[in-house]
Structure 1
């Protein structure tokens, strides 16, 4: 649900939810201000306990989001290295497999760069993955031809090994892109933060405090929720996984091959 929203809309929704809960707490607090001696202690105890619980939930959700973000970065670098190794070893193959494989690897890298800007699970992402799978099958067929032509040569065998690693790395990267923080955890964070800030607004209003502390708390909690949500949107959020390793690799592929064919 949250994953499909544009970042500005997501930020607005989170802020309105948190601010709305604070406003409700302030309104209720004004009604109870005349009985502050009766309500101050139970509201204060409940609000403090809930704030502590929500702090743990927010920290837990942020930790999960950061871990998944770091995994996606590692998987992208791993895939870039696997493609680069495959491209270098493809240069040692005999013609015509060499030229055909090099061209296919360039197209494959372009697709993997496109994957960095498509929403995981969308129709476009599935189409990019399907196109990549088709190129993988072509590369594997060419690798088989190279092995049949030179069954005892080391170059084709090394190339097949790197090609297999490249295919595996793409599978791992796609899985990492789709591995998001469970929606139930995100909903619990939003609901818990809203209720706790609503109680905070109620408590401070009953005590006759100003609105500035409530507004600051609402802003900071909204920003924390936004960062947690945004880290879980690796291709379309404000904090994205940089595709620099893939783009730099693609630029290097436009240079003349470093090795001649066997």
Structure 2
């Protein structure tokens, strides 16, 4: 299931099949095995309404979780751009000898952060993460050496700025790993399956009404796939574009 929710398009196809089968099972097998009498239909309508209401609440709650995580990833992208841009300017406070080297490392680091947001390939992501870790070590070593050589309040500003650069990268990493739990997906899909089963079970005889019973599988599959798309940082169409990092990179190219 974890692989499915990482690929929303595949999830949509799988859910259409799963929920369509559930509706068909209710219409074909349950209606034959346990015919629904007119006396029992009122109770059935109450149970079906409660089940659909519970499903709607779960979908709404999960959508809220996905949107909040998406917003968090966007906010951290902005914070990363601000931290890198601030440290690039503060690098001049360290000294004429170290500043060019730190700025060059920050420019390389900025490109790696842009690549991190853009890539979809797992192997490329591992390479980017390894290079990022190495660059972070070099950046910290450079400001650390300057701070030990000249422990002044001005140098402390550059050290603090570099600390912000490293921290925001960690926050971003954590935000991209923070996904909707698989157990929540399992619960939603189980309730959605039962809801579609009941939808088919309650469908009445005419062809038009039986066709309408497949509206619920399609709408629920679309809703869950949308949630998975928003919640998936790399697998979906709705992604965080590093507009602030790209804008910063363009502005750095104009600085002396």
**Superposed CA offset, 1:89-126 (max 9, x none):** 11343233111111111111111112113469x55434
Contact 2:7 2:236 in 1 (8 A): yes
Contact 1:61–1:228 (CA under 8 A) maintained in structure 2: yes
Greater shift in the superposed pair: 19-28 or 168-177? 19-28
Instruction: Please say if residues 6 and 232 of structure 2, whose CA atoms lie closer than 8 Å, have aligned partners that are also in contact.
Output: no
Normalising to structure 2: TM-score of the pair?
Answer: 0.89
Partner secondary structure for residue 94 of structure 1: coil
User: Unpaired segments of 5 or more residues in structure 2?
Assistant: none
Q: Tell whether the 8 Å contact from 1:36 to 1:207 is kept in structure 2 after alignment.
A: no
Distance change in 2, residues 1:178/1:119 (3 Å):
farther
Write the distance in 1 (CA, Å) between the matches of 2:39 and 2:224. 34
Kindly report which structure 2 residues correspond to 1:230-249, keeping only aligned pairs within 5 A, or say none.
230-249=229-248
Unaligned runs of 5+ in 1: 258-262
Partner of 1:6: 7
SS at match of 2:118: coil
2:58 touches 2:188 (CA, 8 Å); kept in 1? yes
Q: Does 1:152 align with 2:152?
A: yes
Q: How many residues align?
A: 255
The two structures, once aligned, show a CA RMSD in angstroms of: 2.5
Cα offset, 1:211, TM superposition: 2.8
TM-score, normalised to structure 1's length?
0.87
Moved over 4 A (4+): 32-35, 206-209
2:26–2:197 CA contact under 8 A, matched in 1: yes
CA deviation map 1:203-238 (0-9, x unaligned): 123698613432222222111111111111012311
Aligned equivalent of 1:225: 224
**Structure 1 residue 13: Cα displacement:** 1.1
Task: Quote how far apart the aligned CAs of 1:160 are.
Answer: 0.8
Cα distance, 1:130 vs. partner? 2.7
Q: 1:182 to 1:153 in 2, by over 3 A?
A: closer
Aligned: 1:216 with 2:218: no
Q: Which residue of 1 aligns with 2:94?
A: 93
- For residues 209 and 7 of structure 1, the distance between their equivalents in structure 2, rounded to whole angstroms, comes to 30
For residue 4 of structure 1, report the CA deviation from its aligned partner.
Answer: 6.5
